[in-house]
Structure 1
């Protein structure tokens, strides 16, 4: 008896489904080639970055003997650029080809990092040099990140921006899972300076794939440009005039300020006070990052279940509460401390990633294309500009009152940070506006 024509032979079923999924997916879309290059390049850079994220503070602690004040100063230097050049960066990026900004951002970061292992090999490594590299890295990251978020909407269809952000977030979360554990283990084996060498190479590897992007955008003509302060004001004004966006920015900024109070001291607290090794610290961060990976994969399902608005309002609440497990690990044995830290970071990572996918996709859809760079720079200026202040506060409080006091202060402010979105119309909104006209008519 002949099988019906719509039933595939067993050997072809799985392959056929896989081919159909690929054709229908973002990477299989005709415009998906350029997105793939961006995605692969970013994945390479993210793995190296996560390896280096643990190596740089460990370099300060283990090689240079940094204490609470120095660690606060290092974290301040890493994020200072968001406060200093965050606003004009958006106007400058809107005047440039964003692909060029991405390439040069990676090149500058790679070369800056190379100077640290070189100085160590020559015997001239110093804490001021580490701070200088942190500042340069921060400036390059500001421009890269603004260009990155503003470039994505030109590489994927508008209806699939959330999908693109989710895929990029999967890579970021996967790198967070693998990178810190690998970095901590490598620091234990070969030392922090040589691990930073791998981080530098990853940035240069990212450049190769970014250069393969075929999409070319023409910057606005010079004759149409207005004074820089006028263009900066347009981006900042757009953010401040949108009531829902104001709430989201307020919560994100307060949360970043709070998390950096304790985050500046985390490596010192875990290695010195809790007694975990570099490899154990890396493993804690990797285990915790699994929550972020699950959040990236599940973000679409969560938004379909709760709705976009309620997702933004609700998922950040348990994430902020989980921060309390970090200071609660003090005085515990190594196994319990390890478990508390891992659970805290997993819950925090899940909530923050789902929150970010939802709110970044919302603001990318809401904003007109010519304003994207300035809008993203304005948001990042507000939400990341507070991070060096938080890190500085963490260093001062830690040096004067102890690390535990600084950690509990961060926890208290994390809980306050959820109020702008929790006590807002977002809690009653399933679907968020798709553009300015719809936004004006929204409740």
Structure 2
């Protein structure tokens, strides 16, 4: 297998492909809540269900997808997954124009979108270690996170503007086009993937092997469990925040998008420092510090004035800045550690196992958030999210993650 020693060549093309789809997804991150809440007039429970449907496939087919990724070539799988997502997203404005788009129709489409995403993310994440050397993984993931943060900065602002100009359904077309572009660019990524051995092993045997690797490894187990609790909290608070911002505070789509843009700027800063922090202090300590910031950020959101004026917007913006910085700081270290300690033949199952578990609990968190909002209101739901974020921090803090560090060659230091 041939690897590049620098972040160039094949990685550059891979990076551009991922960047374009990230910008499109950032637009949808604004357009989709507006479509659900303001265009389709969903109830709080329906908001939670719609949020859950696009991540529910991780629970249904996620482990199987990991086996497929480890048994087949990863680049073609990533390409077809992007094509599938583009088609599904393109159907949303078409059905809306025909007067056929309803909450349950949208939920079904998002479930299909999530199914393509299960294979797409597992394939692209597992492809990266074939493009760069092991010592460059943290730097490569940091570069990808910087790009994602830039997308979170410009994408929501663009998304808010597009929603105001074209409406939420048509704005989603931007994301559909980005996935098509992603697929075309991946066609030109040249990579010598390791040969996949033909096997007659049962799928369940491979699934069990992947689960044993993740949950039998002391540090990966702690990373996985703390991440699962974090995803529950994050899905819960984001479901609550959509209702809180768009209904309780009555913010416009443009302001809603700008708030997430502020978070994106902070995520870019966090991603910029992530490789340096990881090399100096170790991946584990950096992840733990980042996790400590989340409950602080969402506590501030829950305490924000409910008037919807400049004061409440300023508090929420500051909180989302902290949230974004924490995400940018931790993600590259988490992904780099996972990819560095996992053998190539296990990467697909490891990535799919952890992502499937994360998204499964996220689906539960979205539904729980919708139910809590309906019963007790969005503010109480936000406080529940703060408590769960704190639990995720405790799991990471009192585990081997506290001192986890990957031994890297001198070139990466």
Range into which the TM-score falls when normalised by the shorter chain: over 0.9
CA contact (8 A) 2:51 2:239 kept: yes
Look up the match of 1:269.
Answer: 244
Name whichever of 272-281 and 402-411 sits farther off: 402-411
Q: Determine whether 1:132 maps to 2:108.
A: yes
CA contact (8 A) 1:42 1:206 kept: yes
The 5 A counterparts of 1:281-320 are 281-320=256-295
Write the deviation string for residues 210-245 of structure 1: whole angstroms up to 9, x where unpaired.
Answer: 0101224365232x3411000011111001111111
Look up the match of 1:16.
Answer: none
Q: Distance in 2 between matches of 1:259 and 1:426?
A: 20
CA contact (8 A) 2:55 2:111 kept: yes
Q: Determine whether 1:119 maps to 2:95.
A: yes
Look up the match of 1:354.
Answer: 329
Alignment match of 1:200 (pick from 164, 176, 188): 176
The alpha-carbon deviation at position 100 of structure 1 amounts to 0.9
Write the deviation string for residues 53-99 of structure 1: whole angstroms up to 9, x where unpaired.
Answer: 11112111121111211101111112101111111110011112111
CA separation of 1:135 and 1:264: change in aligned 2, threshold 3 A: same
Q: Distance in 2 between matches of 1:144 and 1:259?
A: 22
SS at match of 2:188: coil
Q: Determine whether 1:336 maps to 2:316.
A: no
Q: Determine whether 1:38 maps to 2:14.
A: yes
TM-score under structure 1 length normalisation: 0.88
CA separation of 1:433 and 1:420: change in aligned 2, threshold 3 A: farther
Instruction: Please list every run of 5 or more consecutive structure 1 residues that lacks an aligned counterpart in the other structure.
Output: 1-23, 436-443
The 5 A counterparts of 1:27-426 are 27=7, 32-217=8-193, 219-222=195-198, 224-426=199-401
SS at match of 2:35: helix
CA contact (8 A) 1:321 1:414 kept: no
CA contact (8 A) 1:285 1:345 kept: yes
CA separation of 1:394 and 1:149: change in aligned 2, threshold 3 A: same
The alpha-carbon deviation at position 330 of structure 1 amounts to 4.4
SS at match of 1:113: helix
Write the deviation string for residues 389-423 of structure 1: whole angstroms up to 9, x where unpaired.
Answer: 11111111111221211111111111111011111
CA separation of 1:41 and 1:339: change in aligned 2, threshold 3 A: same
Write the deviation string for residues 337-367 of structure 1: whole angstroms up to 9, x where unpaired.
Answer: 2112211111112112222211211111111
Task: Provide the aligned length of Structure 1 versus Structure 2.
Answer: 406
CA contact (8 A) 1:89 1:377 kept: yes
The alpha-carbon deviation at position 44 of structure 1 amounts to 0.6
SS at match of 1:265: helix
Q: Distance in 2 between matches of 1:251 and 1:308?
A: 15
Write the deviation string for residues 162-196 of structure 1: whole angstroms up to 9, x where unpaired.
Answer: 11111111111100001111101111121001101
Look up the match of 1:26.
Answer: 6
TM-score under structure 2 length normalisation: 0.94
Alpha carbon RMSD of aligned pairs, Å? Answer: 1.8
CA contact (8 A) 2:18 2:182 kept: yes
Instruction: Please list every run of 5 or more consecutive structure 2 residues that lacks an aligned counterpart in the other structure.
Output: none
Q: Distance in 2 between matches of 1:433 and 1:236?
A: 24
Q: Distance in 2 between matches of 1:219 and 1:65?
A: 50
The alpha-carbon deviation at position 296 of structure 1 amounts to 0.8
Write the deviation string for residues 112-168 of structure 1: whole angstroms up to 9, x where unpaired.
Answer: 011111112222221111111110111111111111111000011111111111111
SS at match of 1:194: helix
Structure label with greater radius of gyration: 1
